[in-house]
Every structure is written in C-alpha cells, then in structure tokens.
Amino acid sequence: MSLINENKERDKWSSKIGFILAAAGSAVGLGNLWKFPYSVGSNGGGAFVMIYFIFLFVIGFPLMLAAITLGRKTQLSAVGAYRSIKKKWAFVGGLGVVCGFFILAFYSTVGGWVIYYFVKALKGGLAIKDPEVLGSIFGGFISSPVESILYQGIFLVLTLAIVLRGISGGIEKASKIMMPALFVMIFLISIRSITLPGASEGIKFFLVPDFSKINMNVIMNALGQVFFSLSIGMGVMVTYGSYLDKDSNILGPSAYIPMLDTAVAIIAGLATLPAVFALGFKASSGPGLMFVTLPAVFASMPFGKVFCFLFFMLVLFAALTSSISMLEVCVSYFVDEKGANRIKASIIISMIIYLVGMPASLSMGPWKDVHILGNLNFFDFYDKLTSNILLTSGGLLLSIFVGWVWGADNAVKEIELRGVKFRLAPVWKFLIKYVVPPAVFIILINSLKELIMAIL
Ligand code: PFF
C-alpha cells in the first residue's frame, strides 16, 4: 500500500537553473574545498588528479545521469523511487537515507569548525603568520568539547532553517543566493593565489602527474572522492531529480553538475596549493591544511584579512548547500513515504543527527581514544563507513539497478521524453551496464579489506 500523501501537491523546483544550482550546491562542499586539496597533497599531486578525472568520466558522469533520470521518472525520493520500479530494491534507497544521516553526523562537526573560523575571520582574529600558533588555536578549539558541540549545533540549526522551508522556498532559494556568491569568491581567491610570486611550483605539483605515485590506495581514495564530491551513491541526486517536472531536459544538468563540481575542486586546489608553495608551507599537511596552513597563507599576503574572511564565508556557503541535501534525503523519506509533516520531520531528524553527531565532535578531544570499531574513533568510523563503504555500495547498486533491473533502454526512453535526443546513449548504456559495476565492485572489495584490516 502506498503511504504517499496524495492530497498535498508535491513541491517542485521553480526553474531549471534553480535545480542546477541546488544540485551543484549539494555536490560542491567541504569535499571540494577541504578534502580535495589535501587529498591531492597527500596522494601524490597530479597523479591523484589524473585518476580522479578518469573516474569522473567513466563513473561519475554516467551515474549522475542515472540518478537524476531515476528520480524524474518516479517523482519519488530515494526509497520510493527504487521501490516503485522493483519492490525488493527499496533497501538501496534506505541505504541512502542511512548514509545521508551518518555523513551529516560528522559533516556537521567540520561545519561547526567552519562557522567558528568564519566568525574569527570576521573579527580579524586569524591574522597570524605562525602556523604553530594557528595549529594550537585549531587544536585547542576542536578538542574543547563544549565549543565544538556548540558550533556543530549552530551549523545544524542553519541547515534545518533552510530545509524547513521546503524545496522551492528553502533549498532552491538558498542555493540561488549562495552558489553565485561562492563562484565569485573562489574566482577572486584563486587569482590572488596564482599571481603570488613562486606560485608556479604549486601549480606544477597539482597538474603534472608523477606515475610512480599511483597505487591501490591512491585509486581507492580517488574513487571515494568522486562519489563524495558528486553526492552520488546516497540518493541525493535521485531525490533532487524527483522534484523536476517531465518537461525538463535532464541531459544538460547531468553534465553541468559534475562539471561545476570539478571546476570548483580544481580552482580550490589552484587557490590553495600555489599559495602554500609560494609561502613555503607543506602541501601534505592533511586535514589541517584549510584551518592551519591557509590562515597563515592569508596572513602573509596583502589584503589577507579580507581574503581570509571571504574564504571562510565561501566554505560556509558550500558546506550549507551540501548539508541541506543530506538532511533533505532523510526528511523526504518520512514526508513521501510516511506522510509526515515536513516541519516536524525536519526538526526531529536534525535533533537525532545532532545526538549521533556529538560523539564525532568529542572524538577530536576527550573521546579521542574511544574506539567504536578497531582503532577507529567515532569521527573516523562515520567517515570510513560512509565514504568508503556506503557511498560506493550505493553507487554500485544504482548502476546495477538502472543498467539491468530497470533497464538501460527504459532509462534512455525516460531521458528522451518530449523529443530530446540523447546522442551518446550507446556509450552511456555500455558504461552503466558493463564498466561501472565491475570497476566499482573491485574498489569496494578493496575498501572492505582495508576496513577489516583497520578493525583487526
Ligand atoms: N558533495 C559534498 C561535498 O563535496 O562536500 C558532500 C556530500 C553531500 C556527500 C551530499 C554526499 C551527499 F549525499
């Protein structure tokens, strides 16, 4: 029996550009601005970027189109979308809801750090050149249980405030303001960074691949990054696609979203790594790159205070347009499937995410050594579980579902509705049926092996 609330009209995107900005908003986030530059830094520079690009074309683009097509076809969020085509597959949508829930649990920890830094930059409190001092500020903040949980809460309240307002009035409106602002800011910062004397070393490191650096780890990380960065494998794009009406052409957006996402990741790399090199810092400084090295970089350049403030505002916008998509996947499940009231569902789910997310914040401080599985603390466990296992499984199952269960031919029919011509259909069908499933499967097995080793 369908529990869908049939009396109420389902909310929709009010314009095509609104949808593109919201979906690109989901994709562009901490994954691009925080994770990508330091992953490039610690995975061998250009070699990582090159593999990232291969996966983007062979796996990322085809899956993006598959997800949006499935959503628009069924006009249902993740669980309903799978179920309405094949009942037994509803669990894949469920997997997505669980994944969104756990990503937001630890994403909100980092979101909280961003708010703290944004406020600090606004007050001019980050104009410090010495990375040691910045390191101790960062360490002191993230290990303080009260402060980090407080800021995590503020981040979740902001996320909630947008999702409460629904699709066209909340998510779309917020994305239409924040995304263009983000593009302008990142453009300004990258110009600043590239024109610093000595920046060419960083550009070289970023763009010239050193093939000897490629190993299974680099490959696994690159694929994980593609899934995480594009927000695929957890039902966000299925859900966002479901708010499109049948008249909209989905081919364009399915190409623009990954392109915008990749452009921002590359520009973020170009905005940070050359400056890091130009000012004599280390590119491989890991997750602290954004919070420790970058403020020092800004403090060492003319108009640094302004750029620092702009930068953290940009990161905050990017993080929020992503976190709302994770919350939306969870909320839309209860609204579409259980007939729940959006406002009530959003509030209750955010509160539960906050509770489950608090240990992630605590594991940077007092709960550092509280291991939930093997040697993984809460933060690492949520991260590994989602980025390496759930997202990849979700992507694998999505490709099998669209390629084989629903059928690639049926999907092409949906894409070609209203006279749209999909010229690359044979290539897409081949990729989604024969290339994506085995490729993702092999990498998933390796990630599982890795996780089991971490536990033992
Ligand atoms: N794509 C987002 C980022 O790069 O930060 C993170 C993300 C959002 C991952 C939504 C997964 C997701 F479903």
By most ligand atoms within 8 Å of CB, the mutation choice from 228, 240, 330 for ligand 1 is 228
Q: Which residues, in sequence order, are CB contacts of 272 under 8 Å at separation 6+?
A: 37, 193, 289, 290, 294, 297
**Ligand 1 center–CA 26 separation, angstroms:** 6
Binding site membership of 234 for ligand 1 (Cβ less than 6 Å):
yes
User: What is the mean pLDDT of the segment spanning 294-304?
Assistant: 82
Query: What pLDDT score was predicted for residue 79?
Result: 92
Binding site membership of 103 for ligand 1 (Cβ less than 6 Å):
yes
Query: Does residue 5 have a pLDDT over 50?
Result: no
Q: Report d(CA 143, CA 363) in Å as an integer.
A: 8
Query: What pLDDT score was predicted for residue 57?
Result: 95
Query: What pLDDT score was predicted for residue 2?
Result: 38
By most ligand atoms within 8 Å of CB, the mutation choice from 52, 108, 175, 229 for ligand 1 is 229
Least confident of 76-85, 206-215, 355-364: 206-215
Binding site membership of 229 for ligand 1 (Cβ less than 6 Å):
yes
The predicted-structure confidence for 171-189, as pLDDT tens digits, reads as follows: 888 888 888 888 888 888 7
User: What is the mean pLDDT of the segment spanning 238-257?
Assistant: 89
Burial class of residue 369 in the structure, from the number of CB atoms within 10 Å of its CB (0-12 exposed, 13-18 middle, 19+ buried): exposed
Ligand 1 atom index nearest CA of 100: 13
User: What is the mean pLDDT of the segment spanning 89-110?
Assistant: 94
Least confident of 276-290, 330-344, 357-371: 276-290
Query: Does residue 226 have a pLDDT over 50?
Result: yes
Query: Does residue 441 have a pLDDT over 70?
Result: yes
Q: Report d(CA 124, CA 193) in Å as an integer.
A: 20
Query: Does residue 80 have a pLDDT over 70?
Result: yes
The phi and psi torsions of 92 (rounded to 5 degrees) equal -65, -40
Binding site membership of 26 for ligand 1 (Cβ less than 6 Å):
yes
By most ligand atoms within 8 Å of CB, the mutation choice from 231, 324, 327 for ligand 1 is 231
What are the sequence ranges of the domains in the chain? 16-455
User: Please, which pLDDT band fits residue 268 given cuts at 50, 70 and 90?
Assistant: confident
> Residue 67 in contact with residue 238, Cβ under 8 Å?
yes
Binding site membership of 32 for ligand 1 (Cβ less than 6 Å):
yes
> Residue 404 in contact with residue 245, Cβ under 8 Å?
no
Binding site membership of 160 for ligand 1 (Cβ less than 6 Å):
no
Q: Report d(CA 135, CA 132) in Å as an integer.
A: 5
> Residue 29 in contact with residue 261, Cβ under 8 Å?
no
Least confident of 6-15, 121-130, 246-255, 364-373: 6-15
Written as six digits, the tokens of 43 are 């995975």
Which of these CATH numbers, 1.10.4160, 3.40.50, 1.10.1740, 1.20.120, describes 16-455?
1.10.4160
